[in-house]
Structure 1
Amino acid sequence: MVQSPVMNRNVHIDETGNNNKIKLPFEISEHNIDTTKITPRTNLRVFLSLTIGSLGIIFGDIGTSPLYVLNTIFAENLHPTPQQCIGAISLIIWNLIIVVTIKYAIFILMADNNGEGGTFALCGLLTGENSKLRARAKHVVSIIAILAASLLIGDGAITPAISVLSAIEGLAVTSESLTKWVVPITVVIIIALFFVQMFGTSKIGLTFAPIMLVWFAVIFSIGIWRITFDPTILRAFNPWEAISYLIREKKQGFIQIGGVFLSVTGLEALYADLGHFGRWPIRTSWLAVVLPSVMANYLGQGALIMHHPEYISSPFYNAAPAWARWPMIVLATLATIIASQAIITGVFSLMNQASSLGFAPPLRVIHTSKKVIGQIYVPAINWIIMLITIAITLLFRSSASLAHAYGVTVCSVMCITTILYICVMRYVWNHHWCFVLLFGVFSIIDFYFLAANAIKFLEGAWVALLIAVLFFLIGFCWYHGQTLLRRYLHVHAQTTALVQLSHRLGIESTSEPILTPDNGSLSRRKTLPIEHQAASSDEDDDEEKKSNPKIKILPPISDGDGSSISNRISFIYNVDHTEIDTNSSSKTVCTVTPGLGVFLTTSSRHTPHVFERVLDRMHALPQIAIFLKMEYARIPVVDVSQRLKVRTYGSEQRRIYHITACFGYSEHKIQLPEILKLAARDHNIPIPDDRNVTFFIPAISIRVKHKGWRLFFTKCSLIIYSVLKNMFPFGQKNLQLPHDQTVSVGMVVPL
């Protein structure tokens, strides 16, 4: 189930980084599920499955926060008073209510881009056709989205480390001699966690969900049990307790806000995983299971600390009965392993969207479900994050140290998400300024959290920011380089409209034999003005065939066995020289080479610049030319009868074909020779044997020409881009090309 990163949306990215919308000639399959439309009324079975699965994927991080939040808040105060306990718990509870429930579960989840969530979804909305932003503002939004995604990846490397460490450190609570085994066991668990990602979100979610259901039931029960010892902790539901706590504590309260924020870590992963489960399953699992459980446990821990402040070093484990200590360690270990899943799957979704939008190189993406389009696995990112997570674990070696590095990146992403969402409300949804300003109140809370977390920069937050900066450089350099490349090709790589190609090549007449082996040089003196377009023009043209009779749409053949295909055109085995008028003032002698040439393209209306390059530099034209365009649908598998759409140009003796091949998002390892065999069988296109078929693909090399210290940063970004471009010269990672029949047509682009 391997595909190009753009398979899961009706967007196609060409080798220049352009986004191309796809118009599908068929309906969405009933087996494909749009998670944004799943409700109990539409499909109860799938709704329940996604709701339960979301517990095992999305809410593990927030659900395991009680392990370390309270002792992090009182790290500098080892003997908190009852009033301080009530104030801190009140801050946590209202943080969960305002930020998670109201802001994210109700409002933020409403902003999806074709079912996907995360900052790139907001970016897609703001840079789309319905946005009222100007072009320069859209560029700024794109760069901000790249920064936000990079920050979330930085958090994705820290979350598994702190989650697993906090659970395994429970061993030290039972016996000091087991302390030395905490880090080795954590590393082994992290490796196992990333290894199972290849099995897919659906299988992992359904496997983890029962464990998380047990986890939430246990922490809810412990919390309720502890509350019964001192019900005065329920005063924490009064918001004034939180406000008065900050007023009384002043500077210390401001510092402790950083610890309070840890109670909502995993929040951005909740939004990034929207495409995996849908908004209603996420809302239901949060309101019905997760929120009551974590609130009860925080209240129970607060009731414990009010009477036993000496337990502040490990309030979670001390809140459980003594006989349950070891079972809780085992259960917490399993829960924290699952907790890391939310951010990992969120990073997969973000990287997939980044590749689709042209903000990252085209990474290999595996669709792990044929029912839910958003459930994916990105191998390269998986192993990179694993290595970074192991390095962080070995560097910090304890959850207490990692807590200082944790939260800054997530809080920064939360601020960016709020700002982008406000822009979507105003410039995409056209909401009134009054509603926009009302939602802007959330930004005050976000920036207050950010200021409290920023003071931890030197204590470890720099690690997460360093990881984010490295990923941002890669994303920005790719985006900047692709933008400059598109501009260059727009000026220097001109193409010809397919409806005028036959006039340009002089093959519009059907009365002159051209493809006989012994024909001589034929002069084509009649010329017409040729429409040249930029190589990046990639819009579909379903209406064009209606208005121009020169386009012939080949219908599928109902009873063909393929036996007559080779009789239609006799393939030559000697070169054929033909004069072609490339413009009105000069002629070019073109060598007609034997066999079939397949030129991969991203346009339905114009020739690919690979074809123009061969024609211009080599003065060669294959006997039969096929322009092959790949499209990817929002369904798992496209029926073979609907696979191809064929158009033909030129004369009966020398035809040029344009083939559009449609594939589903779960179809992988697409064999191009198989497409040709299907075209021969169903559309009677003359296809020779394999030795006379050549595939032409683009290979663009970047030459950095900027000089001088003033352009140092521009030059550095282009150097990084040139390295990335050499690593990913051809964007379609799922195509299987026969190496001995493939020719890379190079173009050196000075930037």
Structure 2
Amino acid sequence: MSLTAPAASETGHHDDPVRPRPATSALALAALGVVYGDIGTSPLYTLQTVFDPVNGLTLNALNVVGIVSLIVWSLTVVVSLKYVALILRANNHGEGGIMALLALAASSVTTRARLRRTLLAVGIMGAALFYGDSVITPAISVLSAVEGLEVAAPFLKTCVIPVTLAALITLFLMQKRGTAGIGKIFGPVMVLWFVVLAVVGVVNMTKAPAILVALNPFTGLAFCLHHRWLAFVALGAVVLSLTGAEALYADMGHFGAKPIRLTWFGLVFPALALNYMGQGALLLAEPGALQNPFYRMFPQWALYPMIALATIATVIASQAVISGTYSMTKQAMQLGFLPRMNVVYTSEREMGQIYVPGINWTLLAAVVAAVLGFGSSTALGSAYGIAVTGTMLITTILTFFVVRYAWHYNWWLCVFATLFFFIIDATFFSANLLKLTQGGWFPLLVGLIIYTVMATWGRGWEMMRAEARVRAGTTPLGPFLATLLARSPTRVDGTAIFLSADPDGVPHSLLNNLMHNRVLHARVVFLTVNNEEIPWVPASQRVSIQSLGSDCYRITITYGFMDEVDLPRALEICKTSGLAFEPADTSYFLSRATVVPTRDSGMAMWRERLFAVMLQNVGNVAAYLKLPANRVIELGARVEI
């Protein structure tokens, strides 16, 4: 498969290579509202899931202190050291996230074809697991918050599922309106959330100060050595405290590494550590609080306000994951791993504010199915860990190749820098594999479906481009155009733009137009769209123009995988070279391919048929390219793969 996008990839408002950022304090506040929603709401369900009777871990003082120690030091090692200290440095021109990391890793081994293909396959699996994570996160987060109703009033237990579904459905229905307005309150709400976590944690620590022993890393180690197998099983639930760690890296492009590091060490990490220790102290003093240790930390009068605050916090966490899913989908489309889908930009000022209807409704259906199928946050916790740890493990693998082949660090330094984290991630992932039958199959099934779609589309598109190059090789553009012009064809007024995947080949749409209409426009443009494995391409490098004589031109438009789709806007840049396009006189000629699966080569027959179905049902290409609908002419082409 290839990282070259379909001849349909576009750009946005990041035309300038350097753009001023707001003040660090403003970015830090905004980051609190976007980056930390997922990991910040993990205290709602982590300890309760760890001591679920299904896991077989007895609730006693030694076990409570040992588990809290493992949680605190997991946050220290995995989040603080791995993500904040190391992974945030692996940026692709300032952008983060698994797709950006995949592009960076793959571009660093372009001379090693087999290794590159392997990295692409691994990276696509990581992206696919992220989709599984994006299904579980809204379900478990909102459900765990609403379960506070059971604590406040046990007779409200029957209302938990309906209230959760109502909140989630409302959230997904609001996506098309964008988050520009409500997003302004995300930061302050999350500041309040983390302050409350810290304060209630400290208050409850006074009930059993012995919980401070958990700060000693050897406490967690002693717990593991004592329990061994049970400790290994418990790690599958401990990892729930790390959910959302990927968001620190994925959202780096929006806020920068410095504000993320500042907020993590200045507020989020201390608040989480204090809250987990507070819950541990509560369990030491009142073992009966295991029913819901988070809400049991609060006095009765504070329960309803906390349920409201927790629900808002989990909605914010869900929003961050949903927005991240839209963003990754857009990147995957432009890197050539997903079919074209309609992308709606919900804000004129913020590039990142997008809405993908197809993903939105698919995600909603999956989230509703997860809530109804699992029924409780504890049950969902069993399904959660595999997607999270799988993505974390793949991030570590890709980081090694970036450190070694992109940064060119010493081999042994690269091994030791990433092997330590690889062992930890692999241990967490292995522990979660034990939960396959308890719900772990769900995110794996989602991931497998998405992986099949992404891998099939990527390989199928690569085969189509190869077939197009073969056809173009038999009809090179230069000689064909010279022969055509020598015959003095009838030329009509206006501009014809023929989109072509190969700049040196004759577009199939031109051949069809000549065969059916027997005319050539007064001005002819052969347009090719290329994607670079970088997030943004400056306006100065956006358009390349080559005159072919007789008012014929070859234009290449280059985009990064974070850029916005808008061909007419990009063509406006040609004015500076004296090539202006009048919209009313410009027609766009596109080829719409019909794929015919064959048994000769390529993919398995069922994958070729899947690709053919996807290609036949992809979104409207004119809308994807933002072409005026009344100026587009689509001509058919038959392609065998």
Aligned residue number for residue 456 of structure 2: 477
Structure 1 residue 369 displacement after superposition: 5.3
Match of 1:715 among 585, 605, 627: 605
Q: 1:663 to 1:485 in 2, by over 3 A?
A: closer
Aligned residue number for residue 298 of structure 2: 320
Give deviations 1:443-498, integer Å, cap 9, x for gaps.
Answer: 11111111111111001111111111111111111011012112211212338777
Letter aligned with residue 85 of structure 2: I
Give deviations 1:109-139, integer Å, cap 9, x for gaps.
Answer: 11122332222122111222x4365112212
Rounded to whole Å, the distance in 1 between the matches of 2:394 and 2:95 is 17
Is 1:330 aligned to residue 308 of structure 2?
A: yes
- What secondary structure, in the 3-state scheme, does the structure 1 residue paired with 2:490 have? strand
Rounded to whole Å, the distance in 2 between the matches of 1:213 and 1:206 is 13
Letter aligned with residue 706 of structure 1: R
Is 1:596 aligned to residue 494 of structure 2?
A: yes
Does the 8 A contact of 1:234 with 1:299 survive in 2?
yes
Aligned residue number for residue 508 of structure 2: 610
Match of 1:28 among 16, 40, 58: 16
Rounded to whole Å, the distance in 1 between the matches of 2:207 and 2:57 is 21
Rounded to whole Å, the distance in 2 between the matches of 1:131 and 1:638 is 27
Q: 1:694 to 1:441 in 2, by over 3 A?
A: closer
Does the 8 A contact of 1:596 with 1:622 survive in 2?
no
Give runs of aligned pairs for residues 160-171 of structure 1, distance below 5 A. Answer: 160-171=138-149
- What secondary structure, in the 3-state scheme, does the structure 2 residue paired with 1:159 have? helix
Match of 1:183 among 152, 155, 161: 161
Match of 2:49 among 63, 72, 77: 72
Q: 1:415 to 1:324 in 2, by over 3 A?
A: same
Letter aligned with residue 344 of structure 1: I
Does the 8 A contact of 2:491 with 2:520 survive in 1?
yes
Match of 1:460 among 432, 436, 439: 439
Q: Which runs of 5+ in 1 are unaligned?
A: 1-10, 34-42, 508-521, 523-577, 579-590
Match of 1:239 among 188, 210, 217: 217
Is 1:154 aligned to residue 53 of structure 2?
A: no
Q: 1:110 to 1:204 in 2, by over 3 A?
A: farther
Rounded to whole Å, the distance in 2 between the matches of 1:386 and 1:183 is 15
Match of 1:143 among 116, 121, 126: 121
Which piece of structure 1 moves more, 156-165 or 349-358? 349-358
Rounded to whole Å, the distance in 1 between the matches of 2:110 and 2:389 is 28
Q: 1:595 to 1:296 in 2, by over 3 A?
A: same
Rounded to whole Å, the distance in 1 between the matches of 2:349 and 2:530 is 16
Aligned residue number for residue 531 of structure 1: none
Which is higher, the Rg of structure 1 or of structure 2? 1
Does the 8 A contact of 2:138 with 2:317 survive in 1?
yes
Rounded to whole Å, the distance in 2 between the matches of 1:189 and 1:738 is 38
- What secondary structure, in the 3-state scheme, does the structure 2 residue paired with 1:626 have? strand
- What secondary structure, in the 3-state scheme, does the structure 1 residue paired with 2:598 have? coil
Rounded to whole Å, the distance in 1 between the matches of 2:370 and 2:582 is 56
Match of 2:552 among 653, 656, 668: 656
Does the 8 A contact of 1:131 with 1:427 survive in 2?
yes
Rounded to whole Å, the distance in 2 between the matches of 1:95 and 1:402 is 21
Does the 8 A contact of 2:342 with 2:619 survive in 1?
no
Rounded to whole Å, the distance in 2 between the matches of 1:379 and 1:315 is 38
Q: Given the two structures, how large is their TM-score scaled by the length of structure 2?
A: 0.88
Rounded to whole Å, the distance in 2 between the matches of 1:156 and 1:347 is 7
Letter aligned with residue 727 of structure 1: N
Give runs of aligned pairs for residues 634-713 of structure 1, distance below 5 A. Answer: 648-651=547-550, 655-658=551-554, 683=578, 694-706=587-599
- What secondary structure, in the 3-state scheme, does the structure 2 residue paired with 1:407 have? helix
- What secondary structure, in the 3-state scheme, does the structure 2 residue paired with 1:114 have? coil
Is 1:59 aligned to residue 31 of structure 2?
A: no
Does the 8 A contact of 2:67 with 2:220 survive in 1?
yes
Q: 1:742 to 1:370 in 2, by over 3 A?
A: closer
Does the 8 A contact of 2:4 with 2:336 survive in 1?
no
- What secondary structure, in the 3-state scheme, does the structure 1 residue paired with 2:341 have? coil
Rounded to whole Å, the distance in 1 between the matches of 2:582 and 2:130 is 49
Give runs of aligned pairs for residues 29-44 of structure 1, distance below 5 A. Answer: 32=19
Q: 1:190 to 1:73 in 2, by over 3 A?
A: same
Is 1:394 aligned to residue 369 of structure 2?
A: no
Q: 1:656 to 1:730 in 2, by over 3 A?
A: farther
Letter aligned with residue 173 of structure 1: V
Give runs of aligned pairs for residues 63-212 of structure 1, distance below 5 A. Answer: 63-76=40-53, 80-128=59-107, 130-131=108-109, 134-200=112-178, 202-212=180-190
- What secondary structure, in the 3-state scheme, does the structure 1 residue paired with 2:497 have? strand
Which piece of structure 1 moves more, 627-636 or 409-418? 627-636
Aligned residue number for residue 549 of structure 1: none
- What secondary structure, in the 3-state scheme, does the structure 2 residue paired with 1:406 have? helix
Is 1:311 aligned to residue 289 of structure 2?
A: yes
Does the 8 A contact of 1:58 with 1:270 survive in 2?
yes
Rounded to whole Å, the distance in 2 between the matches of 1:670 and 1:600 is 13
Letter aligned with residue 552 of structure 2: I
Letter aligned with residue 92 of structure 2: N
Structure 1 residue 600 displacement after superposition: 3.1
Structure 1 residue 631 displacement after superposition: 6.9
Q: 1:204 to 1:283 in 2, by over 3 A?
A: farther
Give runs of aligned pairs for residues 455-534 of structure 1, distance below 5 A. Answer: 455-494=434-473, 503-507=482-486
Structure 1 residue 601 displacement after superposition: 2.9
Q: 1:208 to 1:737 in 2, by over 3 A?
A: closer
Does the 8 A contact of 1:61 with 1:336 survive in 2?
yes
Letter aligned with residue 458 of structure 2: Y
Give deviations 1:617-669, integer Å, cap 9, x for gaps.
Answer: 55834141421648799889989xx9988654434xxx324567899989877
Give deviations 1:179-213, integer Å, cap 9, x for gaps.
Answer: 11111111111122223334445544422111111
- What secondary structure, in the 3-state scheme, does the structure 2 residue paired with 1:747 have? strand
Aligned residue number for residue 227 of structure 2: 249
- What secondary structure, in the 3-state scheme, does the structure 1 residue paired with 2:249 have? helix
Q: Given the two structures, how large is their TM-score scaled by the length of structure 1?
A: 0.76
Match of 1:47 among 12, 17, 24: 24
Rounded to whole Å, the distance in 2 between the matches of 1:12 and 1:326 is 52
Rounded to whole Å, the distance in 1 between the matches of 2:400 and 2:467 is 35
Q: Which runs of 5+ in 2 are unaligned?
A: none
